[in-house]
Structure 1
């Protein structure tokens, strides 16, 4: 079991410089990863300044040497997949192969979807996510890519820079664990950082959920597969097969975040 914290890049002390300092403290305090939520305007905290999480991750990569860094999750339909592919490779090189890309369809209520004329129907967002992941991973090979889908089309384009990590940067899938399409998507990639339920009816992932997901995973031909959970009993989740236990640190005073980080992660007996 490895241990992570998740921040929003929002509010005092969560700008690129501040998050670099928090990431360094997390590393020094024994945590194994720091993840950032990927918003341009932080949901529910619109009065607070939000900083681009990818710029923050670059600063965090320069301030650390050991911990993994990533997004949980990037709303891929908000992005051009080829630009996202190139940025992920650059961040993987900057961090020395420590980057994890968490992905999801995004929140249909995100003002930088609906508010800029983008699609908001979950079915369409899911199609865009699936096409984007095929494009991104193809571009990471360094070979020319030709692709024709419902939403994207590429004609022999190529990114010659390849990730440090091979066969690719790990892709963890987020979304509502109760949605069958989300579970199918999780099993196609490298890990799960899914939540359970909806914002209106949130539920907590259970060790049985992890057990059931892994039982489905082992019917595939994949070898390593990560499952990240948040909250609950780390021991029970480890026994069920989860590989990561995470803690979300809400926006608020920097001193509160510092105290949580300095306390270090829970350790199994």
Structure 2
């Protein structure tokens, strides 16, 4: 099992210089990765100070050499997929192949869609996420293609350079358990970022979601499953007792 920080990009975590220093310290202390939330804020509904996570990740990439970096997670329907594809490859090259791209549909609970005149419908965002993921992965191929979807259309698109990581930059897909569609979607990619509504996930949840996803897993390589929680940092036995049931249930 590998271990990472996963911090907001707002409030005390919205200071880019402080976050870069924290990433450097995390690498020196032996952590494996550093992930950042991707929220944009929406005025008085969420009045904290925010920092752009992609600019923050670029600064972290320049200050570190080993740890993995990435957004957990970017709401792809809030973004143009070709813009995300370009940013991701640039960050992949800047970090020398250390980027993990976390994606999801996002949420309108804090009006991060509707505040800006965009629809907050989850079903719509699921359609946009599926199309966006196909576009991103095809743009990363470096080959010319056209695409005619319900939400996006591309004509003779071709992006260079291709990512350093091959066959592609790892993509981890978010889902709210026990909703099934996001977990079938994630099975076609490289990892899973699960949450549950209004509660913490249990080891039994991880057993159940892994069992559900198994028939849909299509890739031969390792499939990562993220588990979130807190360790004391001081009581090694207590931390081991907290983490081990999740590792045994399939969290990586």
Q: Structure 1 length normalisation: TM-score? A: 0.84
d(CA) in 1 for partners of 2:156 and 2:74?
26
1:230 maps to 228
Provide, for residues 28-52 of structure 1, a one-character-per-residue CA deviation record: whole Å limited to 9, x for no partner. 1121111000011189983321010
Tell me if structure 1 keeps the 8 A contact 2:41–2:47.
no
Provide, for residues 218-248 of structure 1, a one-character-per-residue CA deviation record: whole Å limited to 9, x for no partner. 43332210000012721111112211xxxxx
1:22-61 correspondence to structure 2 within 5 Å: 22-41=22-41, 46-61=46-61
* Equivalent residues, number: 239
SS in 2 for 1:176: strand
Tell me if structure 2 keeps the 8 A contact 1:8–1:42.
no
Distance 1:182 1:21, change over 3 A: same
Residue 116 (structure 1) shift: 1.6
* 5+ long unaligned stretches in structure 1: 244-269
Residue 11 (structure 1) shift: 2.5
1:252 maps to none
d(CA) in 1 for partners of 2:38 and 2:100?
13
Whose helix fraction is larger, Structure 1's or Structure 2's?
2
Q: CA RMSD in A?
A: 1.8
d(CA) in 2 for partners of 1:70 and 1:227?
15
Tell me if structure 2 keeps the 8 A contact 1:58–1:94.
yes
Provide, for residues 35-83 of structure 1, a one-character-per-residue CA deviation record: whole Å limited to 9, x for no partner. 0000111899833210101000000111111111111110100100000
Distance 1:45 1:231, change over 3 A: farther
Tell me if structure 2 keeps the 8 A contact 1:9–1:19.
no
SS in 2 for 1:168: coil
* 5+ long unaligned stretches in structure 2: 231-241
Structure scoring higher RCO (CA < 8 A, sep ≥ 6) equals 1
d(CA) in 2 for partners of 1:43 and 1:66?
36
SS in 2 for 1:86: helix
1:92-241 correspondence to structure 2 within 5 Å: 92-197=92-197, 202-219=198-215, 220-223=217-220, 224-231=222-229, 233-241=242-250
SS in 2 for 1:212: helix
Q: Structure 2 length normalisation: TM-score? A: 0.89
d(CA) in 2 for partners of 1:22 and 1:43?
27
